[in-house]
Copies of this chain bind each other. A is one copy, B any other.
Amino acid sequence: MTRVTLLAGGVGGARLAHGLDLALGPDDLTVVVNVGDDTTLHGLEISPDLDTVVYTLAGLNDEDRGWGLRGETYATLQQMGRLGEDTWFTLGDKDLATHVVRTARLRAGTPLSEVTAQIAASLGVRPRIIPVTDDHLATFVDTPSGRLGFQEYFVGRQHADAVLGLHFEGADDARPAPGVLDALTGADLVVVAPSNPFLSVEPLLAVPGVRDALASTRARRVAVSPIVGGQAIKGPAAQILESLGHEVSALGVARLYTGLVDVLCLDRVDSLLAPAIADLGLDVLVTDTIMGGAEGRERLARELLALA
């Protein structure tokens, strides 16, 4: 048995979680998920990264679009528009069920971690999915136009603004959700998903205790580079690395994670960067990191598991 803990944002984290779920036994995987992207819209509590991970592990996600559920309809959102609501944030009818249920249970006093476990169980998800915290944690993005809420930056303005800095509101007072620190200290392998280092991984590490648990665990720790061939697999990771003064490459990613992980996993197209990454004191795993389909995900997962 290899106990694995994955630190995950949205799509990249969800895909690797899927691969690890295929490669591991039913009780061996814990996924600790970013909640900095969470937002309240129409009075509903929305947790995009948690939902992407849960939907993907349930086999219900929309692969083509990268978010939400397959086969969605939009009757409620359309009617909400008619009632004068701002509908820039797309919410499908089935997806809304998650938000309505989550909101009702949170308001009734159930913590987010427990609500997430309930939803995951209802959808037949096997791995343990834990939000990094049950407390308020909200990512804000500093741009030339000022400080923007995450979803305003990401969805509303299509992550077109230069990112000058990040602010994780509530992080100082947030406590790790039950099981988060144990999942890090008790794992055989900790994997940092190929998620955005600033928007997905940084808010996880900003919760007091998480960075220390990652630094001090006896688990082998590996990060998968989200930058392949100088480009982000998805989303604005490349622009953000650049605007914050980092090299837009797997080497730039390796520098960010030095001291936090033992191994950097990079794509074959970046194999020339391996020596420079090794010079940072990191072990290097060179493989195919683009996870197209279940087979590719499981193969990458098995290569990472071999590190433990």
Contact = CB atoms under 8 A, between A and B. Distances in A.
Interface of A: 42-44, 72-73, 75-80, 82-85, 92-94, 96-98, 100-101, 103-104, 107-108, 118-119, 122-123
Nearest to A79: B97
B76 A96 contact: yes
Tell me the number of copies of this protein: 2
Given A43-B103, A100-B43, A119 B76 contact: no
Which 7 interchain pairs have the tightest Cβ spacing?
A: A43-B104, A79-B97, A75-B93, A79-B94, A80-B97, A76-B93, A83-B122
B101 A42 contact: yes
Contacts of A43: 100, 103-104, 107-108
Contacts of A72: 75
B103 A76 contact: no
Contacts of A96: 76, 79, 96, 100
A115 to B, nearest CB: 10
Given A73-B93, A82-B123, A100-B100, 13 more contacts: A44-B100, A75-B75, A75-B94, A75-B97, A76-B76, A76-B93, A76-B94, A76-B100, A77-B97, A78-B94, A82-B122, A83-B122, A84-B101
